[in-house]
Copies of this chain bind each other. A is one copy, B any other.
Amino acid sequence: MTPKIIAFDADDTLWHNEPYFDEAQERFCALFQDYASSQEILGLILNHQVKNLPLYGFGIKAFTLSMIETALQLTNHQISGKGIEQIIAIGKDLLQKPVELLPNVESVLQQLKGKYKLVVATKGDLKDQHRKLHDSGIGHYFHHIEVLSDKTELDYEKMLGRLECHAEDFLMIGNSLKSDVLPVLNIGGHAIHIPYHTTWEYEKIDFEIQHKNFKALTNIETLLTIL
């Protein structure tokens, strides 16, 4: 495999993210534990997130607005102003979490830099992802960051158009089979899956992938042995 551009997903590929969302959702569930079980509440949040995707896209602001809608539904619109304020605070706390790199990320980037054009390709809030890349201290290993409004085949095709890169010269690395692997393989690119220990419900798929352009690794360090 000799890609020209290697793109890394950010959340749960370069740094920890999902545990912060889990913690935020736990705080939300605790606020409304008199209204429903945690499992029911998490299901409602996800419903609102998915319903709002076409308008809001991904990211913490969308998550915050979906939590507010969930709270309106759970309380039959009886939520207090203080309750709304607490939800907004959960969202703002998420936007200020420290960025903790996953093991071996920096040493791998060090060895890849200069040999390939490295970019970050992530969904989420524009401002938030730029902030995290800055705070991570690894921004200088990358040519730039691409914040995508989604990671469909079309989104990847548009990104490759911007980068003036053919799909066969492109390698995507990430923790989501649904977002980082499948669409990239479908447009003729290469993809490597490095799973994170927990996955957002929305990103789960229930089948296995076998493809000549696909590899699954357990640790980012192994990347160096196959490139």
Contact = CB atoms under 8 A, between A and B. Distances in A.
B56 A127 contact: yes
Chain A contact residues: helix, strand, loop or mixed: helix
A204 to B, nearest CB: 22
Interface in A105-164: 125-128, 130, 143-144, 147-150, 158, 161-162
Interface in A50-65: 55-57, 59, 61-62, 64-65
A85 interface: yes
Given A126-B147, A162-B143, A77 B82 contact: yes
Q: How many copies does the complex hold?
A: 2
Contacts of A79: 81, 84
B84 A72 contact: yes
Interface stretch (A1-9, A88-96, A183-191): A88-96
A69 interface: yes
A149 B127 contact: yes
Contacts of A96: 55
A174 to B, nearest CB: 18
Given A127-B149, A149-B127, A84 B68 contact: yes
Contact of A75 (B64, B75, B81, B161): B81
Contacts of A149: 126-127, 130
Given A55-B95, A61-B61, A61-B65, 5 more contacts: A55-B92, A56-B127, A68-B88, A126-B126, A127-B149
Interface of A: 55-57, 59, 61-62, 64-65, 68-69, 72, 75-82, 84-85, 88, 91-92, 95-96, 125-128, 130, 143-144, 147-150, 158, 161-162
